[in-house]
Amino acid sequence: MKRLIYLWCFLCVLGTAHAEAGSDRPSVLVQTIPLAQRDLTGHITGFGILTPEPDATHNLNFPIAGRVDQVLVNPGQLVNKGDLLLTVSADPATSLNYNQAKNTLSYARAELARQQKLFQQQLTTRSQLDNAVKNLKDAEAAMAIQKRLGAGIVLNKLTATITGIVTSVSAVPGDRFAAGTNLMQIASVETLRARLGVEPSDSHLLQAGQTVHLSSVLNDNQVADGEVVWVAGQINPKTQLVDVSVRIKAQGFAPGTRVRGDIVVSRQHQFAVPRQAVLRDEKGSYLFQVLDHVAHRINVTTGLEDRGWVVVQGTFLQEAPVVTLGNYELKNDALVRVSVP
């Protein structure tokens, strides 16, 4: 009888020890985030360089002929609206023609007044009065032509009409120029173009109007948004890429800056997790969700990736968070301790 009692006590102690051993299973410390749907965008990336907007380039000239006295700027220089660019002197021949037309007009007016007074006194003929009227009209027409040619306008300096970059200077001191000759070119810095090169296999996804996120390749903090203007229909023979023209607001960028452009080609609203939450083995992609401090393996298929997030599809546990850190140490049904990030 005593032996039976001892045996029963031994079994009780052994069962208790086994139960305690089971409750002391090791647990893994992890971090989690809620499983939620997010907005992700698909991008095609290209690299290129910023250039002035073709439609925002201004040619600067004079309506009259003249001679260049001073050139005060150089190509590539940034100028503000109103800055002095160069000074000139009027062409002597132009000044002579204008002065002659001016003197002729003054004489014709005075002669007509004299003939009108003599006609009233019957000291001249109608023919002489009519001839004075004709001479005045001819003088006025000659002066009008001189003014249309720009003669008589006091222009001795050229100033910037916009804030921009001097892209070309086609005059040096001492040069004589004809009326309308382009002396300088300024490109606006308010709007620029980026010509990006993208892989030919991706070009069929691109079209005018798509949004582009641009950043300097030398400074990730220098960013701007733009819009696709056109997509080339052929491969650039030099780069073997397809050219994409993007218009942007400058926002501190300078022409010549090398940039990266991420062109938005798709948008999705689906379940997404950080890239590090997804693991892979011979069975495929998977992640862990935590329910009642137990890790559960969830097989998933992955999709679009965007800025560290990846779209996932699978049979998820409702309202169970996803493990983002510590998942490499987990196995299915492992105990976990959740830490606060």
Q: Print the domain residue range for 320.
A: 26-39+269-338
Verify that 125 and 234 share a domain, yes or no: no
Contacts (Cβ under 8 Å, ≥6 apart) of 227: 209, 210, 211, 212, 246, 247, 248
Q: Which residues of the chain have pLDDT under 70?
A: 1-24, 91-98, 147-155, 250-251, 340-341
Which H/E stretch holds residue 144? Answer: helix 126-148
Strands 335-338 and 27-33, by their bridges, are parallel
Verify that 184 and 72 share a domain, yes or no: yes
State residue 167's pLDDT score. Answer: 85
State residue 92's pLDDT score. Answer: 62
Judged by DSSP in three states, 189 sits in coil
Would 11 be classed as within a structural domain? no
Verify that 228 and 165 share a domain, yes or no: no
Verify that 197 and 262 share a domain, yes or no: yes
Would 64 be classed as within a structural domain? yes
CB 231 within 8 A of CB 203: yes
Name the one residue in this structure whose structure tokens are 């379940």: 271
CA torsion sign for 50, 53, 58, 59 is: positive
Judged by DSSP in three states, 338 sits in strand
Judged by DSSP in three states, 183 sits in strand
One-letter amino acid for residue 293 of the chain: H
Name the one residue in this structure whose structure tokens are 């140490």: 329
Verify that 289 and 207 share a domain, yes or no: no
Would 318 be classed as within a structural domain? yes
- Tokens representing 199 are 């892989």
Would 2 be classed as within a structural domain? no
Verify that 171 and 291 share a domain, yes or no: no
- Cα–Cα distances in angstroms (integers) from residue 7 to residues 12, 44, 186, in the given order: 9, 75, 103
CATH of the domain at 143: 1.10.287
- The string of DSSP letters for 238-261 reads TTSSEEEEEEEE-TT--TT-EEEE
CATH of the domain at 169: 2.40.50.100
**pTM listed for this prediction:** 0.56
Verify that 217 and 254 share a domain, yes or no: yes
Verify that 173 and 246 share a domain, yes or no: no
Domain boundary among 225, 241, 268: 268
Would 101 be classed as within a structural domain? yes
CATH of the domain at 49: 2.40.30.170
Verify that 75 and 159 share a domain, yes or no: yes
Contacts (Cβ under 8 Å, ≥6 apart) of 263: 43, 44, 45, 46, 196, 198, 206, 210, 211, 212, 228, 244, 246
Domain count along the chain: 4
Q: Single out the residue of 245, 80, 89 nearest to residue 166, CA to CA.
A: 80
Contacts (Cβ under 8 Å, ≥6 apart) of 249: 190, 191, 224, 225, 226
Would 127 be classed as within a structural domain? yes
Would 312 be classed as within a structural domain? yes
- Tokens representing 328 are 């490499």
State residue 153's pLDDT score. Answer: 53
CB 287 within 8 A of CB 278: yes
Contacts (Cβ under 8 Å, ≥6 apart) of 259: 47, 48, 49, 50, 194, 196, 214, 215, 216, 217, 253
CATH of the domain at 333: 2.40.420.20
Verify that 33 and 82 share a domain, yes or no: no
Q: What is the largest CA-CA distance in the chain?
A: 171
Q: How far apart are CA 250 and CA 333, in angstroms?
A: 55
Verify that 178 and 65 share a domain, yes or no: yes
State residue 119's pLDDT score. Answer: 81
CA torsion sign for 65, 66, 68, 73 is: negative
Would 126 be classed as within a structural domain? yes
Name the one residue in this structure whose structure tokens are 């990730």: 220
Verify that 197 and 259 share a domain, yes or no: yes
